[in-house]
A = this chain, B = another copy of it.
Amino acid sequence: MHALVYHGPGKPSWESHRRPKLESAQDAIVRITTSTICGSDLHILKGDVPTVTEGRILGHEGIGVVDELGSAVSGFRKGDKVIISCITACGKCDFCRKQMYSHCRNGGWVLGNTIDGTQAEYVRIPFADTSLYALPAGAEEEAAVMLSDILPTGFECGVLKGGVKPGDTVAVVGAGPVGLAALMTSQFYLPAAIISIDLDDNRLKVAQSFGATAVVNSADGNAVKRVMELTHGEGVDVAIEAVGLPATFDICQGILAAGGHLANIGVHGKPVTLHMEKLWDRNMTLTTRLCDTVTTPMLLKTLEAGKLHPGKLVTHRFALNDILKAYDTFGHAAKYAALKVALQVR
């Protein structure tokens, strides 16, 4: 088969690779039909993720067809169409039993990280019964592949941890794919206002089409002031950080209402300065979370019910074997006005 193999920083290669085999009775082998690229794949290619070693097949998102099954897998049959979760969950350890699959002692984020991933023609999925989900009949693959990672990430880390409630004022800092996933799913709880904040006017326009009721371009350094004006000096009930930089984190802590929630989604590479001298008496809640994918079954129900339209996040489509071109487009998102790219096998 062919796969996208990491050969060190800046060196991805679409090349021939041996097909994965079952290694445990709980494994499945899935033939990929749709995959996509995540922001963290770009981080890996920059060499920022030391757990990824040379020779690794990248990718942790995908849709496919079950090709082989270990003897202990009971929930799927050969030929089933499945969504691959970015998080592998054994279903047995203490963390899995608290629904913190992200910290599964035998899994977690392993695909395209410590084991071979989904940017390939075939992939091995450990603990298939608790790491795969049946694709609902009639679901579009390029919409459904957003449920591998980006939708549960935006929803769980941003919306659920942020405790978005009807009538709330929500700010989402960052209008990239994850920020837009949070923006989209925050509407599950009918906030009264959603303010999208980004540096890129094009993305802010997209945010409006996704439901933002106000937008703020933070390029001039006045985002905090602007949000405070928009909220009549009260600040926001929920600030969702979907970038991962000290500057965007700062905006979030600057706009929190008393009693507000700061829900971090962004992957941070550096410490931030937390203004406890101002926040200690603000009844604030600050959360972090690695996506647990525990809401995937619920998201699938809303998708099936026609109430969620994640396909809107896909701006570009490529054949899987044109993946290097897809990386180029996704890696220059502003230039190409790209959100998510769909990688298709026909």
Contacts and interface: CB of A to CB of B under 8 A. Distances in A.
B193 A305 contact: yes
Interface in A274-321: 274-277, 279-290, 292, 294, 297-299, 301-302, 304-305, 307
Contacts of A130: 91-92, 97
A271 interface: yes
Interface residues of A, number: 69
A65 B286 CA distance: 42
A287 B286 contact: yes
A330 interface: no
Contacts of A277: 268-271
A264 B287 contact: no
Contacts of A258: 95, 100, 103
A74 B92 contact: yes
B276 A273 contact: no
Nearest to A285: B287
Contact of A285 (B71, B275, B286, B298): B286
Interface in A255-274: 258-259, 264, 266-274
A166 interface: yes
B271 A276 contact: yes
16 contacts: A74-B92, A74-B106, A99-B99, A167-B297, A167-B301, A189-B190, A192-B301, A264-B276, A264-B280, A266-B280, A271-B274, A273-B273, A280-B288, A281-B289, A283-B287, A283-B290
